[in-house]
Structure 1
Amino acid sequence: MTIIAVVLAALAALLHVYIWVLESYRWTEPATRKTFGISEADAEITRPLAYNQGFYNLFLAIVTAVGLLLLGGNHDVGTALALAGTASMLAAALVLVTHDRSKARAAVTQGLFPALAVVFLLIQL
């Protein structure tokens, strides 16, 4: 079960690194605006907020990745960090969908790998 948990958590971390790139560096690009459903004018106004939010996603990915790296040497600490990162990703997805039901697709995209990772990380305890 550990290999499944590692793969899912790694995919979650990689997805959140990608979200970091989109939010922090490509926010005003047409493809990114289309992905997030935001106008050019709104993208310019919200750029500082998106930049900051992107780094939150990066930090969650880093916590998860460090946890995965530690799984072999210090299993308990690695699991705790991987769970902290992926559970926070999942919580953010839940906040997104409970705040705005029209964001359900984005919440599933953002939260599916973390949700599965949390399940398999807990199973392998």
Structure 2
Amino acid sequence: MDLAVIACIAAALAAAVHGYIFVLETLRWEEPGTRRVFGTTPEQAALSKQLAANQGVYNLLLGIAAVASVILIVTGLRGPGIALLLTITGIMLAAALYLVVSDRSKGRAAVVQGFFPLVAVVTGLVALGQSV
């Protein structure tokens, strides 16, 4: 199987996760379920709403760029698509690593945020090596 296909699937799943994070941080930040996920009180959520929304938009844009990389690859622009895929999923992976390094209690969240980007980066690098 072409590893670029696996990289595309992983990037698309990473985009879906980041889209979901956007919904939580931007549209549902003060909802009880979201507060449980992030461990915030109603007061903390109210005070951090604008900051969370801004972070949510970043997550949405990362997801959109990951989808764009998949579209490039699928439409035959493999080189630029893999380059974009590696850049975007590398950023996602770096953010997940920062999360767990900065706060060990966030390990589960870091795995959720970083697993699909890790798969995309590894398979994308191998796919890139195969096309050279």
Query: What range is the shorter-chain TM-score in?
Result: over 0.9
The answer on whether the counterparts of 1:83 and 1:121 sit within 8 Å (CA) in structure 2 is yes
Aligned pairs for 1:89-104 within 5 A: 89-104=92-107
Task: State, as a whole percentage, how many aligned pairs show the same letter.
Answer: 51
1:92 alignment partner, SS class: helix
Indicate whether 1:81 and 2:84 are aligned: yes
Q: TM-score, normalised by structure 1?
A: 0.97
C-alpha distance after superposition, 1:6-36 (max 9, x if no partner)? 1111000111011001101100000011011
Q: Which residue of 1 aligns with 2:112?
A: 109
Q: Which residue of 2 aligns with 1:25?
A: 27
* Structure 2 alignment gaps of length 5 or more: none
Q: Which residue identity is paired with 1:74?
A: L
C-alpha distance after superposition, 1:69-97 (max 9, x if no partner)? 00132111111111111111101101111
The answer on whether the counterparts of 1:64 and 1:84 sit within 8 Å (CA) in structure 2 is no
Alpha-carbon separation, structure 1, partners of 2:13 and 2:57: 18
Aligned pairs for 1:53-68 within 5 A: 53-68=55-70
Alpha-carbon separation, structure 2, partners of 1:30 and 1:84: 34
C-alpha distance after superposition, 1:35-63 (max 9, x if no partner)? 11111110000000000000110111111
Q: TM-score, normalised by structure 2?
A: 0.92
Q: Which residue of 2 aligns with 1:5?
A: 7
Q: Which residue identity is paired with 1:93?
A: A
Structure with larger Rg: 2
Q: Which residue identity is paired with 2:98?
A: V
* Structure 1 alignment gaps of length 5 or more: none
Q: Which residue of 2 aligns with 1:69?
A: 71
Runs (4 or more) in structure 1 with deviation over 4 Å come to none
